[in-house]
Amino acid sequence: MVHLIPALRAFARTFCRTPDDADDLVQETLTKGLANIDKFEAGTRMKSWLFTIMRNTYYTRVRAAVREAPGLLDCASLRPISEATQEWSVQGKEVHQAIQSLPEHQREVLMLIGVLGVSYEETAEICGCAVGTVKSRLNRARAGVLEYLGESSSQTLMERRSYLSEGQLDFEAERRR
């Protein structure tokens, strides 16, 4: 389980505003995972199982927050982890804002597939929906990001993807912090 912590942290950042909140969610996920390890089915992926636990834990927290204190629903942020050059910093903020403008279900799919490299099938399992729904959400998320950025060309999309792959939004850096 320890080797999955960086991926869990990255996924938790799609839900939580601060690194501390994300770490709390990761800790709670790992605690629940260890407490229920006997329910883990051999032959399935531990990563998907833990992502599902995290997602369910987050939604349980949201439901509890709604009952307890309104105004706590804004726990969804993704901010750049590593230092960037001035130009990339501006572009990174734009991409960040574009991702944050997406509905949560689209943002979640975009993070799982686009950033964490989870397969469509695993994403469908984690999100509790069909693979076709995952593909649709991903397509809408990509279109939403481009629309927010006021861009429509596939060349610009490739530049933005290149930006993400160059490590400017390096979630693995969180592990090194």
**Residues near 124 by beta carbon (within 8 Å), at least 6 away in sequence:** 130, 131, 133, 134
Listed residue (99, 98, 94) closest to 109, CA to CA:
99
CATH number of 2-68: 3.90.78.10, 1.20.1250.20, 1.10.8.60, 1.10.1740.10?
Answer: 1.10.1740.10
pLDDT recorded at residue 62: 72
Structure tokens of 61? Answer: 């927290």
pTM of the model: 0.50
Q: Kindly report the CATH class assigned to 86-169.
A: mainly alpha
124-160 pLDDT, tens digit each: 988 889 999 999 999 998 888 888 888 654 555 555 5
* CA-to-CA dists, residue 91 to 32, 45, 134, 141, angstroms: 38, 35, 27, 18
Q: Which of 75, 80, 139 is nearest to 109 (CA)?
A: 139
